[in-house]
């Protein structure tokens, strides 16, 4: 897609989903770099323990303010005035829970919320919106090699469908004639690290070591994933706010696709304990392989992942150990 001049320097940022895993790390990094940050989230430290932990440092910073709100039901305009960039990380995650009646909420949180945010951003002439998309937009990729942004998108789950819809919707707004808001949609590949949601693979493996409760391993363990450490994802996200772009989708991965069995071995090596495992069938929506082609990220974002999987697992284990005592 066509490019334009870089967005202006970020002095004031809005982060939706600020109390979440990636969002809270992004907030902390922006604050360290002197950016004034308004965080938006349905969760608050008063009603959610994870939010309290994730935002503990940020809440002590004068440059940070947290707004409790819902992008589906509240008017986003009141939060975006004067923003140099909006980082849209709010959304409903998870492939397996997205089937059935839950799809209504996925549609609202991932698609309708994005549309309402884009309307507000354009109305207030916000220069740049960075959207959290997902590798789930690609679908099954066995035998195709690393995934390129100009390749086929054929999501295999309702969740993936909503992420692709949100991505295409935001890019459509950016490409509208005279649009003041440019968009970079980041296709994150399996982000992990401290504060990771407990339902995600590496977090589940480490928790199984701590509790002794077996990890449910879906499939044969030969599935491959491109794991991205959260600090690398944050660096790419901040770079996307100032990259020369009008409407772009960009992969953000860890640079290496490994099997689930290899991850289990890393966890065992780091913790000194084997991960207790019980087998179950593959789940609807799960894909066999993810692997990111990072050529575009290197060119557009100057992105190069710096944390290898073993080191990342060590960091996440150290964080979990400090919490469990």
Structural domains in the chain, sorted by start: 12-191+228-255+290-306 (3.40.50.720)
Tokens of 136: 């789930």
Question: pTM, whole model, 2 decimals?
Answer: 0.95
The pLDDT value recorded for residue 1 is 45
Tokens of 138: 């690609």
Q: What's the rounded Cα separation, in Å, for the pair 199 and 203?
A: 7
8 A C-beta contact, residue 238 and residue 9? no
The pLDDT value recorded for residue 8 is 64
End-to-end CA distance of the chain: 50
The pLDDT value recorded for residue 325 is 64
Question: Does 159 qualify as catalytic in the annotation?
Answer: yes
- Look up residue 109 and give its DSSP letter: I
Q: Where are the beta strands (DSSP E) in 165-316?
A: 182-188, 191-192, 215-218, 224-226, 228-229, 247-252, 257-259, 277-280
The pLDDT value recorded for residue 282 is 77
Q: Are strands 64-68 and 36-41 parallel, antiparallel or unpaired?
A: parallel
If residue 39 lies in a helix (H) or strand (E), which one and from where to where?
strand 36-41
Residue in 106, 159, 188, 192 annotated catalytic: 159
* Weakly modelled stretches of the chain, pLDDT under 70: 1-8, 142-144, 325
The pLDDT value recorded for residue 34 is 97
Q: What's the rounded Cα separation, in Å, for the pair 196 and 193?
A: 6
């Amino acid at each position: 897609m066509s490019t334009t001049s870089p967005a202006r320097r970020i002095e004031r940022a809005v982060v939706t989903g600020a109390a979440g895993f990636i969002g809270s790390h992004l907030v902390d990094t922006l604050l360290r770099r002197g950016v004034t940050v308004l965080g938006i989230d349905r969760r608050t430290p008063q009603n959610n323990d994870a939010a309290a932990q994730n935002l503990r440092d940020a809440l002590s910073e004068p440059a940070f303010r947290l707004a409790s709100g819902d992008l589906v039901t509240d008017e986003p305009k009141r939060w975006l005035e004067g923003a140099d960039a909006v980082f849209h990380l709010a959304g409903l995650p998870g492939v397996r829970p997205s089937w059935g009646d839950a799809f209504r909420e996925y549609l609202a949180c991932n698609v309708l919320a994005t549309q309402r945010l884009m309307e507000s951003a354009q109305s207030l002439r916000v220069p740049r919106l960075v959207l959290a998309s997902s590798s789930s937009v690609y679908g099954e990729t066995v035998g195709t090699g690393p995934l390129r942004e100009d390749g086929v998108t054929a999501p295999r789950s309702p969740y993936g469908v909503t992420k692709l819809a949100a991505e295409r919707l935001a890019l459509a707004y950016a490409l509208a004639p005279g649009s003041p808001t440019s968009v970079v949609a980041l296709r994150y590949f399996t982000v992990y690290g401290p504060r990771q949601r407990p339902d995600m693979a590496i977090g589940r493996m480490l928790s199984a070591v701590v509790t002794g409760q077996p990890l449910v391993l879906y499939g044969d363990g030969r599935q491959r994933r491109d794991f991205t450490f959260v600090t690398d994802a944050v660096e790419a996200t901040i770079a996307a706010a100032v990259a020369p772009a009008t409407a772009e989708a960009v992969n953000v991965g860890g640079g290496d696709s490994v099997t689930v069995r290899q991850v289990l071995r890393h966890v065992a090596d780091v913790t000194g304990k084997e991960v207790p495992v019980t087998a179950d069938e593959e789940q609807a929506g799960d894909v066999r392989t993810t692997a990111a082609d990072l050529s575009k990220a290197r060119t557009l974002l100057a992105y190069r992942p710096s944390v290898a999987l073993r080191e990342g697992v060590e960091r996440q284990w150290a964080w979990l150990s400090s919490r469990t005592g």
